Chain A
Amino acid sequence: GAGVSQSPSNKVTEKGKDVELRCDPISGHTALYWYRQSLGQGLEFLIYFQGNSAPDKSGLPSDRFSAERTGGSVSTLTIQRTQQEDSAVYLCASSLDPRISGVSYNEQFFGPGTRLTVL
């Protein structure tokens, strides 16, 4: 079946502009995650959605970052007034409900990422 898809694959923008990154999770996955990966670094958690519960926004680095998930499916990560330090690869992942123990509920499936470059 179809995996997690993200668009665009690459985005170049000018400092101060707003950008929107899109994620389409695997159908039936109730959990959706956004991460940021700077060059040569590990993944930095940004936000987590689970079903209709309030999202865990604890990883968002500033109030310029926001995300929403419409209809429990597609998610959009918005970065306002982009800065050069926002340049990174933004990865989206989805899974079954991770609150249930067991590998099948905890395996996250990642999209190919969006490479954001802020000039």
Chain B
Amino acid sequence: AQKITQTQPGMFVQEKEAVTLDCTYDTSDPSYGLFWYKQPSSGEMIFLIYQGSYDQQNATEGRYSLNFQKARKSANLVISASQLGDSAMYFCAMRGTNTNAGKSTFGDGTTLTVKP
């Protein structure tokens, strides 16, 4: 079974500052993928970043980086230089590989508010 825990229901950050959104996970799969999605108030789900469990380096995509600490089972999202448009709900998710590749488990989300 897989479990994703996001302990921060809401976070505030000042515009142009960096913010870290926490995510811890639990799984019995030896190989898995970790994801972050953004969901603005419009409701669309936007893929942000992906980390494979055997990837040697932490994933980065523009202002987004994933701080992957395998031993601690954490996959925190770091957003640098926050912008007002970053205000949204953020979901951490994971899934296994092979026969478990299709079933994703999502956390409850963190609502990020960027203050001007």
Decide if A and B are genuine partners. Answer: yes
A103 touches B44 (CB 8 A): no
Report A23-81 residues with CB < 8 Å from chain B CB: 31, 33, 35, 41-45, 48-50, 56, 58-59
B106 touches A89 (CB 8 A): no
Given contacts A106-B33, A106-B35, contact A43 B104 (CB under 8 A): yes
A102 touches B44 (CB 8 A): no
B12-20, B69-77, B79-87, B91-99 - interface stretch = B91-99
Q: Does B103 contact A (CB under 8 A)?
A: yes
**Nearest Cβ in chain B — how far from A109, in angstroms?**
7
* B96-116 interface bits toward A, Cβ cutoff 8 Å, 1 = contact, 0 = none: 011001111111110000000
- How many pairs of residues, A versus B, come closer than 8 Å at their CB atoms? 67
Write the chain B residue with the least CB distance to A50.
Answer: B102
B102 touches A110 (CB 8 A): no
A56 touches B103 (CB 8 A): yes
Q: Which of A89, A103, A109, A110 has the most CB of B within 10 A?
A: A103
Interface range, A side: 20 to 34
Interface size on B, residues (CB 8 A): 27
B102 touches A48 (CB 8 A): yes
A89 touches B47 (CB 8 A): no
A43 touches B91 (CB 8 A): yes
Given contacts A43-B91, A113-B43, contact A102 B52 (CB under 8 A): yes
**Nearest Cβ in chain B — how far from A113, in angstroms?**
6
Given contacts A101-B52, A101-B97, contact A108 B103 (CB under 8 A): no
- A58 to B43: give the CA distance in the assembly, Å: 25
B102 touches A33 (CB 8 A): yes
Report B4-57 residues with CB < 8 Å from chain A CB: 4, 31, 33, 35, 43-47, 50, 52, 54
Contacts of A42 in B (CB 8 A): 4, 91, 106-109
Chain B residues with CB under 8 Å of chain A are 4, 31, 33, 35, 43-47, 50, 52, 54, 59, 91, 93, 95, 97-98, 101-109
Chain A residues with CB under 8 Å of chain B are 31, 33, 35, 41-45, 48-50, 56, 58-59, 89, 91, 93, 98-99, 101-103, 106-110, 112-113
